[in-house]
Structure 1
Amino acid sequence: MKQVVAVVKPFLVEKILEGLRLAPLEAVVVREVKGVGKQKSYLDQYADTDYARAFLPKVEVAMWVDDTRVEEVVRKLVEVARTGRMGDGKIWILPADNAERVVSF
């Protein structure tokens, strides 16, 4: 089992979730996060003055995927999320060795 974590622009989330709707995912978690990368920051206007905001709003989509399907899921994720502009996001693939259910049904 692997955990695939994507941090993307907020407007891409619905498109990503729809694109992965039929993907072989075990579980998905979506969180609002803030971060900075090569895009650095951006200027915003507040009370008629420009100021730099250090952290940009992003959304983290964490998915748990069977080892044999990771490449398929990542390929689909990149296909759906890539706009070709700086700041599209990042994807990490992490091992997810142990998982326990909190409640058994």
Structure 2
Amino acid sequence: MLMIRAIIRPEKAGVVLTEMLSGGFSAVTKLDVYGRGKQKGIKVGEVYYDELPKVMLLCIVNDEDKDDVVRIVMKNAKTGEKGAFGDGRIFISPVEEAYTISTGKSGL
């Protein structure tokens, strides 16, 4: 099992979630977060924004589904043809175990 964490622009969250559902990935946690990437924030005029609003989507998938989820996020979170700074990042981590609290069963 793998945990996919996608940090994306807030305005792209709806379309990414819709496409994940269409692709068969309905179990997603959505969090509003703030942060900055390599560009260390953004300056607009004389105002410097150190932390920018983002959305983090968390999804646990079987190993063989990783590429499908990454493809969905990459395609739908990108702004414009080539993308832009601030479009986000995808992080993938192993998950050793998962349990359903109500049943006590392990796995997805």
- Please report the TM-score for the alignment, with normalisation by the length of structure 2: 0.83
For structure 2, the 5+ residue unaligned runs are none
User: Which protein shows a greater Rg?
Assistant: 1
SS of the aligned residue for 1:6 comes to strand
Native 8 Å contact 1:26 1:65 kept in 2: no
- Larger relative strand fraction: 1
Opposite residue 25 of structure 1, the aligned amino acid is: F
Between 1:61-70 and 1:18-27, the stretch displaced more is 18-27
* Root-mean-square deviation over aligned CA pairs: 1.9
Q: Secondary structure at the match of 2:13?
A: helix
1:28 maps to 28
Structure 1 stretches (4+) deviating beyond 3 angstroms?
Answer: none
Give the structure-1-normalised TM-score.
Answer: 0.85
Supply the distance in 1 between the matched residues of 2:78 and 2:44 (Cα, whole angstroms).
25
Other structure's SS at 2:76 match: helix
Q: Which one is further off, 54-63 or 19-28? A: 19-28
Aligned amino acid, residue 32 of structure 1: D
Unaligned runs of 5+ in 1: none
SS state at 1:27 partner? coil
Aligned length: 101
